[in-house]
Amino acid sequence: MNKDKYINEVEKRLSQLFLASKEGYKASPVERHRLEGFMRAGVFMGIVSNDEMSGLMNSCHQAIFGKSIEQRKAELSSHWQEEFIDYSQYEQPTYERKD
């Protein structure tokens, strides 16, 4: 297989996955594993290296989200802060609650 053709296909698949994620759709495990297997196969066959695949994934992510994977992970983890959520309204049984 031609290296450029392979890289273009990986880039296309990564872009589809990241665009779906950006639009709020979570990729199915089958899609994610299929892409991961496709990328690993390229490394196994010597078409590309792990570093090339990592760089391609980061550049696709940067193009779609405007930030690195690490920046986005840090941002997403800071969004969910349980200590700031007030669950006190749920301590009372539902039949006793008044809305």
| Distance from C-alpha of 3 to C-alpha of 32, rounded to nearest angstrom | 22
Is it the case that residue 15 has pLDDT exceeding 70? yes
Domain span at residue 25 reads 3-70
| Distance from C-alpha of 54 to C-alpha of 56, rounded to nearest angstrom | 5
pTM of the predicted protein model:
0.71
Q: What tens digit of pLDDT does each residue of 28-42 get? A: 889 999 999 999 999
Residues 6+ apart with CB under 8 A from 89: 97
Residue 22 belongs to a domain: yes
DSSP letter at 47? S
Residue 35 belongs to a domain: yes
Number of domains, the chain:
1
Residue 87 belongs to a domain: no
Residue 47 belongs to a domain: yes
Q: What is the mean pLDDT of the chain?
A: 85
**pLDDT number for residue 27:** 84
Is it the case that residue 82 has pLDDT exceeding 60? no
Q: What tens digit of pLDDT does each residue of 67-79 get? A: 888 888 877 766 5
Residue 89 belongs to a domain: no
**pLDDT number for residue 68:** 84
Spatial CA neighbour of 47 closest among 6, 76, 93:
6
Spatial CA neighbour of 60 closest among 4, 8, 2, 3:
8
Is it the case that residue 57 has pLDDT exceeding 60? yes
